[in-house]
Structure 1
Amino acid sequence: MSLFPPDIEATATRIIADFTARGLMVATAESCTGGLIAGALTEIAGSSAVVDRGLVTYTNVSKTDILGVSVDTLKDFGAVSRETALEMAAGALKASQAQISVAVTGIAGPGGGSAKKPVGLVHLAASNRDGKILHREMRYGDIGRSEVRLATLRTAFEMLQDMAEA
C-alpha cells in the first residue's frame, strides 16, 4: 500500500523509470509541499538512481541559507513569487549533483492568504543544467491544505516530465 494516491504513485513510477533510462537525477526544493515531491519519488523502488536530494526550505532564512535565494528577492517579491521559485530551482541545482531541479512555494492554507496572494496560489519552477527554465503560477483555490499540496505535487511531476523531454 502506497502513502500516496494511485495516480501520483503511477506518475512517480513513470518518472523514476524515465529518469533512470535517461541517466538523469533530480533535486527538489520544497516549501509548501514540505518534502512530498521527494517523498512520492522515493516511495518507488529504484528511486536512489534518480533522487539526488530533497531540500525542504520552509522559512525565508532556509531559502537564503540553503538555496541562496536573495534577501532582496524575498523582500521585493515575497516568498510566494515567480522570482523566489526560480531562485529556489537554481539553488537546488547548485547544491546538488542533479541535472534537473523542481521548486515549489505557495500558500496551502487554510490561512495566510491575501487578496493579492490567495490561499491556493503556488509558484513552481524547474530548471536544468543546460539553462532551460520552466515556471508555472497555479491558483488551485481554497480547496483545503492537503488538496493544494497534492495538486502542487501533480503539477511538479508534470514539470519534471517536461524537463526530462527537453
Structure 2
Amino acid sequence: MTDEVGGLVRGGFYQMFQAGAIVWSPPTGAHISTGGIRVVWGAGGYETGQLGYPTTDEIGPLANGGVHQLFENGEIIWSPTYGAYSCTGGIGRTWAALGYEAGPLGYPVGNEHAVAGGAIVQDFQGGLPGLRQPGPWPRFTSRPAAGIGPDGNFLLTPSLGGP
C-alpha cells in the first residue's frame, strides 16, 4: 500500500492497495488494475508500453469465466484455462469482428510474436481455418481476411503476400 504517486506519463497517478492499484490519467480517468491482467500490463511497461493506460476496469464475466480490460491501444484478456494475454492492432480488430472469445478463435493462448519472414502472429484457442501454420496451436496472422469462402475457410487478401 502506498500514498498516491504522481509523475507518470501524461500527468498520470497511481496508488497501490493490498490487491492491486488504482491508476488515473487525465484522458482515461481512474481504473482498477489487479491480478493476471496487471502482471501482463506491467510486463509490457505499464502506461509507457504499447497498451498505454487502462480505459475500463475489468469487464466480465466472459465465456467460461474469463474477464478482460480495455486499454488505450488494445486489451488484455484473462481466462482461467489460458491465463492473461494482450491483443492489439489488426489482430485485435479481427478477433473483435469475429466475436471475441465467443467466436471461432476462442481465447488467445499467447501474445503476439514475430515469426520467420517478419509476420506477426498470435496463437488462439481455436485458430483460424485457412491461416494455419505448423506448431502446437493454430496461428492467426495479422494479414486481413477478405471474407469467408464456400468451404468455410477465410479468403486471404492476395496483395499482402503469404502468411
Q: TM-score, normalised by structure 2?
A: 0.30
Task: Looking at secondary structure, tell me which structure has more strand per residue.
Answer: 2
- Which of the pair has the greater relative contact order for Cα pairs under 8 Å at 6+ separation? 1
Q: TM-score, normalised by structure 1?
A: 0.30
